[in-house]
Amino acid sequence: MSFDINQYKIESEPFYQAQGNEVERYQAAYAARLPVMVKGPTGCGKSRFVEHMAWKLGKPLITVSCNEDITAADLVGRFLLDASGTRWVDGPLTLAARYGAICYLDEIVEARQDTMVVIHALTDHRRELPLDKKGEVVKAHPDFQLVISYNPGYQSVMKDLKQSTKQRFTAMEFDYPTPELETQVVAKETGIDEHTAAKLVEVANAARKLKGHGLDEGISTRLVVYAGILIKQGMPAAEAAEMAMVTPITDDAEVRESLLHTIELVL
């Protein structure tokens, strides 16, 4: 049975509001099949950007959201038992390498350390993936590219990428868009008017100033979009902002009060 990698192609254009020349930079990296690291806080558009680029380049995209339970075998593949005995099943990284897709490992730093070994072989000039258990070395398809995302804000001694891994990637830095661009993103994603979108963005930017002063991470664009969606459902703006932009991100009564006060002033 042959495998159809085209099922991973993205059919319609994912909306992506560029912040600079990141589209051109990515195209240059892809043209040379260089591995790319997208860096930045959670919910600022990294995954959307990668989806947009896969669509633009017409290449299949295989995404793996990494967590602490992800092991090398989850990426590479394993033998499974079935009625006729054991059968090798390729993991997502192997599928991408074998058939030619962009493989996006989201929040790679969360995965177990043994996953780094398999990434390393694919990111140097060899572009190969050894399947030790199967006794096969997969030569990467010419279209294969590896992309990882990384949130430097979460880094700790335990959870940071090693230099030996970092130094195998080109990198692009992302941040929350400027207020003007973020307003457009929120209006376009949710269908609310630009005036209301701008107010939500104003609240988000006020909250982002609290990062390091009671908040670990600012309000993401994702959460601003959620607030817009709730408003579109008919919820009053202040209530939507509280539900999407305050309650999820803090358990601290003082920070909560201060954010609610901002909402009261702005919305």
By CB under 6 A, name the binding residues for ligand ADP.
15-17, 40, 42-48, 177, 185, 189, 221-222, 225
Nearer to ligand ADP, 50 or 267 (CB): 50
Least distance (Å) from ligand ADP to the CB of residue 17? 4
Nearer to ligand ADP, 47 or 123 (CB): 47
Least distance (Å) from ligand ADP to the CB of residue 186? 8
C-alpha dihedral (160, 249, 104, 136), degrees to nearest 10: 60
With H, G, I as helix, E, B as strand and everything else as coil, classify residue 62.
Answer: strand
Nearer to ligand ADP, 73 or 184 (CB): 184
Residues 6+ apart with CB under 8 A from 164: 116, 120
Exposure string of 210-234, with b = 16+ CB inside 10 Å and e = fewer, is: beeeebeebbbbebbbbbbbbbeee
State how far the Cα of 120 lies from the Cα of 129, in Å rounded to an integer: 9
By Cβ distance, which residue is nearest to ligand ADP?
45
Tokens (6 digits) for 231:
């408003």
Least distance (Å) from ligand ADP to the CB of residue 213? 23
Q: Are 184 and 194 in contact (CB under 8 A)?
A: yes
Give the CA diameter of the chain: 67
Least distance (Å) from ligand ADP to the CB of residue 109? 13
Nearer to ligand ADP, 48 or 199 (CB): 48
Least distance (Å) from ligand ADP to the CB of residue 21? 14
Least distance (Å) from ligand ADP to the CB of residue 177? 6
Nearer to ligand ADP, 46 or 59 (CB): 46
C-alpha dihedral (173, 176, 179, 180), degrees to nearest 10: 60
Nearer to ligand ADP, 166 or 188 (CB): 188
State how far the Cα of 41 lies from the Cα of 168, in Å rounded to an integer: 21
